Amino acid sequence: MAKVDNLRELDGQNGEFWVRNPWEFSKSGQNLSAYERNGVFLNGQSGDETQFHDIGFLSGADNTGDGRSVSAWDVTGDGRPELFVRQAGGGALVVYENRFPSGHWLKLSLRGTRSNRFGIGAKIVCETAGRVIRRELSPHINFLSQSPAMLHLGLGESEQIKRLTVHWPSGQGRSWKTWRPTATCGSLKTTGKSKRSRPGDPSGVTSGFRTRSRWDHSPGHSP
C-alpha cells in the first residue's frame, strides 16, 4: 500500500477548516455551508401557470447562518404565518415576521376517534370561488424543530368556503358546505359532540389566539 502524505495546510480561502472538538463547533465561528445564503421562493401562481419568485433578498431571510430547517406558524394570530429557521451558525433560531398583506384564512385542528388522535395523514380539500386548496396534515420534523399538528389555509380575498372535505386516514370522509367566516379567522375542531358558535362568540372556539372574530364548527363524529 502506498503512503499518502496528507500533511498540508488547510485552504481557508476555499472554505476548508478543522475543529478539533466537534461539540465546540458553534464557538468556532466556522460555517458548514461556506456561507451560502438561504433561498426563499414565493409561489406566484396565476391561473394554471405556476411561477416561483426568489424573494430571499427582499424578505431579509437570505442570511448566511447555515440554515438547517424551517417551520411556518402564525404566532401573532393575524393569519400570516411566520418563518422559524433553525441554524447551525449565526444564532440557533431566527424568526421572520410575515408582513405580507392580510387576507381571509382558515385554521384547522383535527381530532380523530377512529383515526389517530390528531388526524395525522388526513387530506383536506377546501373549495372557494374559482380555487381549490389541497393540504395534508403531516407535521414535518426537521433539525431540532417540528411543525404544529394543525393546518393553515390562506383564502386570499375569498369570503366564503363553498365546500370543505376531510379525508381521514381511516378511509372515511366528510364534507361541510357554505361557510362564510367574518373577518379573517376560522378554526375547525372535530370532536365527539356537535356544536357551532357564532362569529365573535368565544364559546367552543378552538383557536388559541385572540382575534377580532372567530368561528368554529364541530361535527358529530370524527372518523
Shortest CA distance to 131 belongs to which of 102, 157, 166, 167? 157
Q: What pLDDT is attached to residue 43?
A: 81
- The counts of H helices and E strands in the chain are 2, 16
Find, among 134, 131, 106, 161, the residue nearest to 46 by Cα: 131
Domains and CATH numbers, the chain: 38-100 (no CATH), 104-218 (2.60.40)
8 A C-beta contact, residue 102 and residue 79? yes
Query: How sure is the predictor about 200, in pLDDT bands with cuts at 50, 70 and 90?
Result: very low
pLDDT tens per residue across span 141-167 = 788 888 888 888 888 888 888 888 999
Nearest Cα neighbor of 174 from 160, 163, 162, 189 is: 163
8-22, 90-104, 135-149: which range is least confident on average? 8-22
Angle at 200 between CA 82 and CA 129, to 5 degrees: 65
Within 13 A of 137's CA, how many CA atoms are on the CB side? Answer: 25
* Tens-digit pLDDT profile for residues 107-127: 888 888 888 888 899 999 999
Q: Return the pLDDT at 125.
A: 93
pLDDT for 134 equals 92
Q: What mean pLDDT do residues 23-32 have?
A: 70
Q: 18 φ, ψ to 5°?
A: -140, 130
CA distances from 12 to 8, 18, 24, 30, 34 (A): 12, 10, 19, 10, 10
Q: Which residues contact 33 (CB under 8 A, 6 or more apart)?
A: 64, 66
pLDDT of 199 above 60: no
Closest to 110 measured CA to CA, from 122, 92, 93 = 122
128: which strand partners? 131
Closest to 128 (Cα-Cα) out of 186, 178, 78: 178
Q: What's the one-letter identity of residue 58?
A: L
